[in-house]
Amino acid sequence: MTGTVIRVFGRYYTVKYNNAEYMSVLRGRIKKDSQFKLFSNPVAAGDLVNFSIDRDGLGVIESIIDRKNYFSRKDKLKGKEDIIAANLDQVISVQSFINPHFNLRFVDRILVRGVSAGVKVVLCVNKLDLAEKGETDYIRSYYRDSGLEIHFMSALSGEGIDVFKETISGKRSLLIGYSGVGKSSLLNRVFPGLNIKITEVSESTGKGKHTTTNVQMEQIDENTELIDTPGVREFGIMHVEPHMLGAYFQDFKKPSMKCRFSPCSHDHEPDCEVRRLVELEKIHPDRYISYLNILYSLKENLENMY
Ligand code: GDP
Ligand code: ZN
């Protein structure tokens, strides 16, 4: 049988098949497969799996069907790749203007991962009713030419809610946002009656503890699915060589062809067109600083590997 993984809770998986849900575990040989050792958890929400049901009604996942795509981050504690969700239409980074104030460096990391994973990223900034003058322009100019789709909205006033609804309808989306940005308020506004409460689950407290992956996919209507990731506060990037980082900044791509060096890390090299555009403020200086910040963290990762 082929089912869809809708919940991951540690080593337990809920598989949905024909509108029924089966608590499942992994067949031993999947765990031994060498490529799975690279991941902190080999199965993710959104995975299509072949599974069987044993006499006690417990599901046993036999194999994972090839993924269309998957979205992952670095599991800091184990140094492995943590797959958050698979087979996505898009990732929605939900932020707010205040409480908490938006953090575009965090969005940049999600965007790099999205571009490298081949998954579209959309930025939704909530609490527009509380935006300071100039903040929407700031965000737009920060992402000029980056290819990022941006929407502003308010769950309170309703402004921009239609676009939010349109953005998520008929798709499978992964929502990433700190607690308090208004995810629950937005979803309840768009789908009244569902009474969705996105609950915060603390990821891991004491040092050395394992990160507990706890991800859940909700079927909102026939064609709309939302995957929530409570507690994703940090976002480490893997599998990007430092000198390739610029390729994942779409706004740097065209100018980089005019850099004297190729590849150019746009950091120290002479005659760097990206740096020239930053000085002219055609590329937002804050976006460039965010780039350097990721660049240095990638270089540090490399150093720690050897
Ligand atoms: P979640 O943790 O992301 O699910 O956030 P909630 O939906 O629980 O909202 C957190 C707080 O922000 C609540 O007190 C909401 O009333 C408030 N809030 C949510 N959306 C808006 C908005 O658009 N404008 C304002 N002013 N407050 C909002
Ligand atoms: Zn350059």
pLDDT, residue 205, reads 41
What is the rounded CA–CA span in Å between residue 243 and residue 98?
Answer: 35
Q: Are 5 and 13 in contact (CB under 8 A)?
A: yes
pLDDT, residue 197, reads 62
What is the rounded CA–CA span in Å between residue 81 and residue 35?
Answer: 11
Domains with residue ranges and CATH for the chain: 2-66 (2.40.50.140), 73-78+83-228 (3.40.50.300), 242-305 (1.10.40.50)
Mean pLDDT of the chain: 90
Asked if residue 30 has pLDDT above 90, the reply is no
Q: Of all protein residues, whose CA lies closest to atom 25 belonging to ligand 1?
A: 127
pLDDT, residue 306, reads 62
pLDDT, residue 207, reads 37
Give the CB-side neighbour count of residue 215, counting CA atoms within 13 A: 26
pLDDT, residue 135, reads 98
pLDDT, residue 206, reads 38
Q: What is the pTM of this model?
A: 0.92
Q: Of all protein residues, whose CA lies closest to atom 15 belonging to ligand 1?
A: 182
| Ligand 1 pocket, residue 174 CB under 6 Å | no
Asked if residue 46 has pLDDT above 50, the reply is yes
pLDDT, residue 235, reads 83
Handedness of CA 227, 123, 156, 233 (dihedral sign): positive
- Which of 237-241, 248-252, 288-292 shows the lowest mean pLDDT across its residues? 237-241
Q: Of all protein residues, whose CA lies closest to atom 22 belonging to ligand 1?
A: 127
**Cross-strand bridge partners of residue 85:** 45, 71
How far away, in angstroms, is 251 Cα from ligand 2 center? 12
How far away, in angstroms, is 280 Cα from ligand 2 center? 14
| Ligand 1 pocket, residue 130 CB under 6 Å | yes
What is the rounded CA–CA span in Å between residue 293 and residue 297?
Answer: 6
- Can you spell out the DSSP letters for the chain? -EEEEEEEETTEEEEEETTEEEEEEE-HHHHH-GGGGGBSSS--BT-EEEEEE-TTS-EEEEEE---S-EEEEEETTTTEEEEEEES-SEEEEEEESSSSPP-HHHHHHHHHHHHHHT-EEEEEEE-GGGPPTTHHHHHHHHTTTS--EEEE--TTT-TTHHHHHHHHTTSEEEEE--TTSSHHHHHHHHSTTS-----------STTPPPPPEEEEEEEETTEEEEE-TT-------S--GGGGGGG-HHHHHHHTTSSSSS--SSS-SS-HHHHHHHTTSS-HHHHHHHHHHHHHHHHHHHHH-
Can you tell me the mean pLDDT for 121-150?
Answer: 98
Q: Are 58 and 65 in contact (CB under 8 A)?
A: no
Asked if residue 7 has pLDDT above 60, the reply is yes
Confidence of residue 138 (pLDDT cuts 50, 70, 90): very high
Ligand nearest, relative to CA of residue 100: 1
What is the rounded CA–CA span in Å between residue 40 and residue 78?
Answer: 7
pLDDT, residue 72, reads 92
pLDDT, residue 33, reads 75
Atom of ligand 1 nearest to the CA of 128: 23
Confidence of residue 5 (pLDDT cuts 50, 70, 90): very high
pLDDT, residue 302, reads 77
Our mutation pick for probing the ligand 1 site, out of 94, 163, 185, counting the most ligand atoms within 8 A of Cβ, is 185
Q: What are phi and psi of 277, to 5 degrees?
A: -70, -30
Q: Of all protein residues, whose CA lies closest to atom 11 belonging to ligand 1?
A: 180
Tens of pLDDT, residues 153-182: 999 999 999 999 999 999 999 999 988 999
Can you tell me the mean pLDDT for 115-134?
Answer: 97
pLDDT, residue 199, reads 55
| Ligand 1 pocket, residue 183 CB under 6 Å | yes
pLDDT, residue 210, reads 41
Asked if residue 304 has pLDDT above 90, the reply is no
How far away, in angstroms, is 284 Cα from ligand 2 center? 15
Percent of the chain with pLDDT over 70: 92
How far away, in angstroms, is 208 Cα from ligand 2 center? 39
How far away, in angstroms, is 216 Cα from ligand 1 center? 21
| Ligand 1 pocket, residue 96 CB under 6 Å | no
Can you tell me the mean pLDDT for 143-155?
Answer: 97
Residue 203: is it exposed, middle or buried by C-beta count within 10 angstroms (0-12/13-18/19+)? middle
Tens of pLDDT, residues 183-236: 999 999 998 877 666 554 444 443 334 444 578 899 998 899 999 887 677 788
How far away, in angstroms, is 93 Cα from ligand 1 center? 15
Handedness of CA 148, 154, 159, 162 (dihedral sign): positive
Confidence of residue 79 (pLDDT cuts 50, 70, 90): confident
Atom of ligand 1 nearest to the CA of 99: 12
Percent of the chain with pLDDT over 90: 73
